[in-house]
A = this chain, B = another copy of it.
Amino acid sequence: RIAAEILDHLAKPIDGPLAGKKAVVTAGPTREALDPVRYISNHSSGKQGYAIATALSRLGADVTLVSGPTSLPQPAGVNFVQVETAVQMLDAVKSELPSDIFISVAAVADWRPAEPSDVKIKAKTTKDGLGSITLVENPDILKTISHMKGKRPSLVVGFAAETNDVEDHAQGKLERKGCDWIVANDVSGDVMGGSENEIAIIKRDGIERLPRMDKSAVAQNLALRIAENFSTIKAK
């Protein structure tokens, strides 16, 4: 680990294109408790978010990775904050602001059980054998950060994991959330948990489609586009 950190510091250019920029990246799933043993979660492995945090760091950015539960090792050279729920994730992101860049890669649960129980819930059956869980909406982290007054990062990027009508859903998400870019990916196949990804970057003025590639290559491509974005702003 120490050797890895030294190598990482050597790999991180002091004068990289993102030197002096702070980035906050979220990754992984969130887990929303039903009771002390049961939860609602999703198949996100965290691989894409971890790779993006590393790629931004390699370009010189000061990166904080806010991660839900994953089985991945902490990337070296990146500040690491472990969380479990969507509410904890939003709190962790807010406490990292101000930041220049925010990238919301985590597969945040939209809903959580309304009243998680302190003790293991006993299964109760109605006449027709049905039960139900009442849910409340989780805070929308991407939308909240996109609308922060004063502290809004100058570049806010969301991910849209979709199984169908990927780009249409992503376009809608860009409008609804108020972020700058949406990275759309189709998770109908084996992307979640897999090592490859195929993305489209949707901006207000157009779409760029990237071919299917390794998640670390996706991360490097995205990090380079972010660096270009800042150099373009600087040049204006």
Contacts and interface: CB of A to CB of B under 8 A. Distances in A.
A202 interface: no
Contacts of A107: 37
A161 B130 contact: no
Contacts of A129: 136-137
Nearest to A191: B37
Interface residues of A, number: 38
A58 B41 CA distance: 36
Contacts of A119: 163-164
Name the prevailing secondary structure of the A interface residues.
loop
Assembly stoichiometry (copies): 2
Interface string A11-51: 00000000000000000000000111111111110000000
A161 B122 CA distance: 12
Nearest to A121: B110
A123 interface: yes
Contacts of A192: 37
Given A38-B42, A162-B120, A163-B36, A134 B136 contact: no
Contacts of A109: 38
Contacts of A130: 114, 134-136
A163 B133 contact: no
Contact of A120 (B38, B39, B44, B161): B161
Interface in A112-168: 114, 118-120, 123, 125, 129-137, 161-164
Given A40-B40, A123-B137, 6 more contacts: A37-B163, A41-B41, A71-B71, A118-B163, A120-B161, A133-B135
